Each structure stands twice: as structure tokens, then as C-alpha cells.
Amino acid sequence: MISWGIKTSKNMEKQSIYLRKVLQSDIKLIFEWANDKDARNNSFKTKEITWAEHETWFENTLKDLKTRHYILCYNGNDIGQIRVKIEEENQGKISYSIDKAYRGLGFGKIILQLCENALLEEFKDFYLYADVKKSNIASQVIFKTLGYNESIENDVFKYNKKININK
Ligand SMILES: CC(C)(COP(=O)(O)OP(=O)(O)OC[C@H]1O[C@@H](n2cnc3c(N)ncnc32)[C@H](O)[C@@H]1OP(=O)(O)O)[C@@H](O)C(=O)NCCC(=O)NCCS
């Protein structure tokens, strides 16, 4: 059986699927994922990211008190990342990706669900949103499956959802 959770204690390391916080030592892994071909194509800034740009961005993100950045670990492997940039007190924008070797297996939905759970350990309620390109069907399916409201503006699919500890 797969257990889900945020790693909060040594005991949780035994669980086969969980989120952990991004660490300084993840700088190269996050760089590789950021420059993955599909990740760039599905992003609204498609240009390849240089190492120098990444270094600055990563250091800032790591110390930014308004960013939550997690890695999805599955059976001891790092297989994806999800980031929430908190823009207002309890509202934030989601950005996420799954390592290409693990796509098509349902992990996109799991990482998003675990991230919602993580936020609810900190906030009583929280508004999440994401912008998705028209061509990114997998991501559209994931947000719809998890109950996000959908609207379309200028060919961009916009998703939002209020998450609440009581739900
Ligand atoms: C987007 C991404 C996170 C999706 O994660 P994933 O776990 O590989 O997603 P899946 O392939 O399991 O697809 C999710 C759902 O979409 C469905 N789907 C995927 N492609 C589809 C298509 N062309 N038509 C219809 N349904 C499709 C899948 O069947 C699945 O549905 P299910 O849960 O009912 O089986 C992953 O592809 C990725 O990292 N892409 C690059 C970065 C990216 O696009 N990030 C998101 C930016 S908004």
C-alpha cells in the first residue's frame, strides 16, 4: 500500500511516497528539471535557462519566506517538484513538474494533492491557482480531476480552488 504524507519525522522515511522540502543540494536536479524540453514548452517562458540565471533564482527561492518548494520522493527516488509562490496572505500560484521517466503514471495528481495537504498543515484555508497552456492536456485533466474551477482567457486555461482543513 502506498502511504502519502509530508516527511515530518524519521519514521516517515519508511513511507514510499511523500514530499520533502527542496534543499540547497537539489540545485542541479531542479536545474535539469527546469530545462526539460516539455517543461520549457509548457511554460510561458520557453527560453532555455542558463546555469547563472538558475543559481540566482534558486538561491532567492530557497530563502524566500513566501515560497514553498517540495520534491516528490517515490521509493527512494526524487521524481518531481512542486512550488507555490505565496502572493497574498493565503493565496498562491502553483508550478510543478514530474521527471520524464515517471510521467503518464498519475504522479502529477499525487504531487498536487500532497502539496495541498502540506499547505493545510500551515494554513486553515488557502486559495491556489495555476495557468496552463491550451496544449498541456495532462495538466488540465489533473486540475479538473482535483476539483479546480476552470476558465479560459486568451487560450490560457486558468484554474483556481479554495482548499480548507475541513474538507
Ligand atoms: C504535466 C505533468 C506534471 C503531468 O503529470 P503526469 O503524472 O505525467 O500526468 P499523466 O500523464 O498521468 O496525466 C494526467 C491525466 O491526464 C490524462 N491525459 C494525459 N494526456 C492526455 C491527452 N492527450 N488527452 C486526454 N487525457 C490526457 C491522463 O490520462 C491522466 O488522466 P487519469 O488520471 O484520469 O488517468 C507532466 O507531464 C510534466 O511534468 N510535464 C512537464 C511540466 C509541466 O507541464 N508542468 C505543468 C505546467 S502547468
pLDDT grade for 5, boundaries at 50, 70 and 90: low
Cα dihedral 70/38/27/130 (nearest 10): -40
Which of 141, 145, 160 gets mutated to test ligand 1 (max ligand atoms within 8 A of its CB)?
Answer: 141
Q: Which pLDDT belongs to residue 89?
A: 84
**C-beta of 126 in contact with ligand 1 (< 6 A):** no
pLDDT tens track for 80-137: 999 999 998 899 999 999 999 999 999 999 999 999 999 999 999 999 999 999 999 9
Distance 138 CA to ligand 1 centre (A): 3
- The pTM for the full model equals 0.93
Rounded to an integer, what distance in angstroms lies between the CA atom of residue 132 and that of residue 155? 9
pLDDT grade for 2, boundaries at 50, 70 and 90: very low
